[in-house]
């Protein structure tokens, strides 16, 4: 690692206390998507104090913002998330599930670390530009509502990422690896059925059951499953049954559907067919249906050029430095959940070199996975992420960094409980350095950015980004939905 780069990375260590404090404060004030008022204010104040120019209310979203340093040269973006999950409140470092506040949210996806890791990377790149008097711009993007809100999708719809040359992000987790999994596009829709209430025994002929309509819609969709591409997904939840009295004809019922497909066009087709079924169900029952589009996100366009760059830096940057106390704490958490097949195990299965696979298998029981995983081959995953919408606008790469005990499930109370521990913050700062080092490499060698952009163009077939969220849809997560983790 050259002198300029290591000097820039030192800025992360110099600001360690501040960065860790911000992460802890976010952990202590968990807020759900689009309600991250405390987080947005804390970030904007911190960015200003660190010498970034802050733009609030980005894309008209009160909790979206950016912090910029520099005004020319290549634009490097870092994506920060900070929303928490409903119902996951948890006492810090406890070894059993104890809510800190009943039914309050908690940081079950580690986004208190995610945002600050990206901020730390931006701080190092700013230092690099300053020290070396080089052209270049670094932007930290404060992206709200990753969980169920597609905040970045709304930001992308407004053109927020259009001027970015390349962007980086990461996710806290149990391994150190480059993310090579494609994600799915998705749509989330709420179907509201409305009928007429009546006494179900005395005057059933006067009732029109919204619940019947909803059930018929679900049955229709079960038949549809045979006639859609095999790699699409149709999930649903009944979010309002209309009441609990069987003697009353239910005048209202509500279901939320989550549709996924790899290609955006498949999703448009699927959406159209599910809507036809919903309308058909309403017609059969003489009720009405209101189709409320909630949000959408695009599939992630993988960028091998940037993935290789991130892999190199995962291997070159000094490791997180977990000590015996971290390992001991991790072991205690491992007693709190049954050992099943983990994400680490699935990555090891993918390793082609038999010797390396064996070496990694031998380390499967380590309390924290300190090893850097080899660059995995590209494969199609089935989850979705709003990073997809950024990746259609500029080349993006993401890493995972070990911040928690091996095998801890995502979105669990254990993940919340360890979110303030030294192990979590060590992993966060390591991820920050890997992202910053990759950005600095790209600033030093413009060919990297050129090749990454060329790859994006090739993979999208030259198609420009089509926002999947219709222009009239406002960012929201309805309060009566998603109240359970
Ligand atoms: Zn999550
Ligand atoms: Zn997450």
Report the DSSP beta bridge partners of residue 168.
Answer: 78, 397
If asked whether residues 82 and 217 sit together in one domain, one would say no
Going from the Cα of 275 to the center of ligand 2, the distance in angstroms, rounded, reads 30
- Kindly report, residue by residue over 364-373, the tens digit of the pLDDT: 999 999 999 9
CATH number of residue 40's parent domain: 3.40.630.10
Going from the Cα of 138 to the center of ligand 2, the distance in angstroms, rounded, reads 23
If asked whether residues 214 and 361 sit together in one domain, one would say no
Residues around ligand 1, an ion, CB closer than 5 A: 109
Ligand that comes closest to the CA of residue 108: 1
Mean pLDDT of 89-107: 96
If asked whether residues 189 and 292 sit together in one domain, one would say yes
Residue 268 maps to a domain: yes
Going from the Cα of 111 to the center of ligand 2, the distance in angstroms, rounded, reads 6
Ligand that comes closest to the CA of residue 113: 2
- Kindly report, residue by residue over 33-78, the tens digit of the pLDDT: 999 999 999 999 999 999 999 999 999 999 999 999 998 999 999 9
Domain of 353 in residue numbering reads as 3-181+299-459
Ligand that comes closest to the CA of residue 143: 2
- Kindly report, residue by residue over 416-469, the tens digit of the pLDDT: 999 999 999 999 999 999 999 999 999 999 999 999 999 999 999 989 999 999
Residue 472 maps to a domain: no
CATH number of residue 245's parent domain: 3.30.70.360
Going from the Cα of 81 to the center of ligand 2, the distance in angstroms, rounded, reads 8
Going from the Cα of 276 to the center of ligand 1, the distance in angstroms, rounded, reads 31
If asked whether residues 348 and 454 sit together in one domain, one would say yes
Band of the pLDDT at 264, cuts 50, 70, 90? confident
If asked whether residues 346 and 423 sit together in one domain, one would say yes
| pLDDT value at residue 213 | 98
Residues 317 and 430: beta-carbon distance below 8 Å: yes
- Kindly report, residue by residue over 304-323, the tens digit of the pLDDT: 999 999 999 999 999 999 99
Residues 432 and 18: beta-carbon distance below 8 Å: no
| pLDDT value at residue 484 | 39
- Kindly report, residue by residue over 201-224, the tens digit of the pLDDT: 999 999 999 999 999 999 999 999
Going from the Cα of 385 to the center of ligand 1, the distance in angstroms, rounded, reads 9
Going from the Cα of 384 to the center of ligand 2, the distance in angstroms, rounded, reads 11
**Whether the predicted pLDDT of 225 surpasses 70:** yes
- Kindly report, residue by residue over 382-425, the tens digit of the pLDDT: 999 999 999 999 999 999 999 999 999 999 999 999 999 999 99
3-state secondary structure the chain: CCHHHHHHHHHHHHCHHHHHHHHHHHHHCCCCCCCCHHHHHHHHHHHHHCCCEEECCHHHCCCCEEEEECCCCCEEEEEEECCCECCCCCCCCCCCCCCCCCCCCECCCCHHHHHHHHHHHHHHHHHHHHHHCCCCEEEEEEECCHHHHCHHHHHHHCCCCCCCCEEEEEEEECCEEECCEECCEEEEEEEEEECECCECCCCHHHCECHHHHHHHHHHHHHHHHHHCCCCCEEEEEEEECCCCCCCECCCEEEEEEEEEECCHHHHHHHHHHHHHHHHHHHHHHCCEEEEEEEEEECCCCCCHHHHHHHHHHHHHCCCCCCCHHHHHHHHHHHCCCCCCCCHHHHHHHHCCCHHHHHHHHHCCCCCCCCCECCCCCCEECCCCCCHHHHHCCCCEEEEEEECCCCCCCCCCHHHHHCCCCHHHHHHHHHHHHHHHHHHHHHHHCHHHHHHHHHHHHHHCCCCCCCCCCCCCCCCCCCCCCCCCC
- How many domains, the chain? 2
Going from the Cα of 246 to the center of ligand 2, the distance in angstroms, rounded, reads 40
Going from the Cα of 144 to the center of ligand 2, the distance in angstroms, rounded, reads 11
**Whether the predicted pLDDT of 297 surpasses 90:** yes
Mean pLDDT, the chain, integer: 96
Residues around ligand 2, an ion, CB closer than 5 A: 109
């Amino acid at each position: 690692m050259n002198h300029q780069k290591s000097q820039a990375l030192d800025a992360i260590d110099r600001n360690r206390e501040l960065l860790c404090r911000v992460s802890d404060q976010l952990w202590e004030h968990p807020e759900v998507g689009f309600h991250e008022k405390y987080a947005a204010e804390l970030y904007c104040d911190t960015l200003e104090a660190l010498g970034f120019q802050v733009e609030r209310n980005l894309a008209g979203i009160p909790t979206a913002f950016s912090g910029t340093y520099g005004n020319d040269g290549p634009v490097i973006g870092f994506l920060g998330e900070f929303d928490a999950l409903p119902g996951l409140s948890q006492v810090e470092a406890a070894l059993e599930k104890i809510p800190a506040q009943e039914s309050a949210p908690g940081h079950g996806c580690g986004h208190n670390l995610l945002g600050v890791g990206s901020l730390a990377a931006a701080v190092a790149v700013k230092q690099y530009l300053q020290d070396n008097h080089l052209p270049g711009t670094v932007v930290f993007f404060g992206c709200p509502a990753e969980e169920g809100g597609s905040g970045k999708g709304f930001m992308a719809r407004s053109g927020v990422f259009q001027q970015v040359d390349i962007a980086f992000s990461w996710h806290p987790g149990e391994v150190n690896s480059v993310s090579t999994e494609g994600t799915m596009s998705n749509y989330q829709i709420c179907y509201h059925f409305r009928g007429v209430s009546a006494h179900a025994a005395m005057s059933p002929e006067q009732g029109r059951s919204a619940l019947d309509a909803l059930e018929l819609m679900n049955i229709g969709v079960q038949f549809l499953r045979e006639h859609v591409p095999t790699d699409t997904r149709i999930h649903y939840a009944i979010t309002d049954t209309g009441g609990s009295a069987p003697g009353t004809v239910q005048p209202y019922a509500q279901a939320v559907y989550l549709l996924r497909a790899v290609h955006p066009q498949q999703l448009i087709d699927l959406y159209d067919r599910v809507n036809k079924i919903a309308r058909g169900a309403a017609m059969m029952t003489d009720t009405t249906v209101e189709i409320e589009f909630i949000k959408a996100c695009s599939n992630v366009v993988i960028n091998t050029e940037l993935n290789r760059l991130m892999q190199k830096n995962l291997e070159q940057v000094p490791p997180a430095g977990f000590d015996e106390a971290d390992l001991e704490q991790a072991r205690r958490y491992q007693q709190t959940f049954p050992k099943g097949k983990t994400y680490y195990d699935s990555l090891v299965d993918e390793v082609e070199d038999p010797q390396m696979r064996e070496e990694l298998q031998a380390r499967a029981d380590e309390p924290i996975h300190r090893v850097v995983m080899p660059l995995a081959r590209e494969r199609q995953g089935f989850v979705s992420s709003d990073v997809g919408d950024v990746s259609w606008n500029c080349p993006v790469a993401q890493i995972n960094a070990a911040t928690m005990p091996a095998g801890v499930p995502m979105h669990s109370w254990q993940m919340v409980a360890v979110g303030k521990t030294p192990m979590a913050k060590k992993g966060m700062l390591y991820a920050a350095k890997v992202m910053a080092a990759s950005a600095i490499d790209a600033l030093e060698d413009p060919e990297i950015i050129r090749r990454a952009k060329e790859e994006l163009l090739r993979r999208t077939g030259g198609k420009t980004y089509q926002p999947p969220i219709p222009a009239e849809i406002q960012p929201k997560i309805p309060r009566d939905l998603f109240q359970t983790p």
